[in-house]
Amino acid sequence: MAHNTLAGKFFFNIPQGSQIILVYGNGRTETFIVDQVLMYQALPYGQYRDLQTQEIVYIGALFNTAYSGEYHLTLQTCIESEGDYQWGRLFIIAKPLSDQRNDYLNIWQ
């Protein structure tokens, strides 16, 4: 997560298919490929409108889409509209370039 007025503003420049390379504190790297770029308008009562399909989803379903499932990377920031810096949400979901799931347990070694 990053604020859309700080590092998160750069998330909008990451298109589908891009490579993201994480560099861990021990110098190990892990490469991900952006699989999905999802944008939602925040609505009252924990609802969100998918800006591509116009489908309304609840926060639980959105959370599961962005954070659950197979091992992946999620980048999240808010979308600003007309001065409202929390108008919506941007999620960038990236899959590992190769099956590195077992390797991530060794991050801190």
Q: Please, what is the Cα angle at 80 between 77 and 84, to 5 degrees? A: 120
What's the rounded Cα separation, in Å, for the pair 7 and 10? 6
Two tokens, residue 84: 């409202």
This prediction has a pTM of: 0.86
List the pLDDT tens digit at each of the 109 positions of the chain.
Answer: 999 999 999 999 999 999 999 999 999 999 999 999 999 999 999 999 999 999 999 999 999 999 999 999 999 999 999 999 999 999 999 999 976 555 555 554 4
Number of Cα atoms under 13 Å in the Cβ half of residue 103: 11
Phi/psi region, residue 37 (left: phi>0; alpha: psi -120 to 50; beta: rest), is: beta
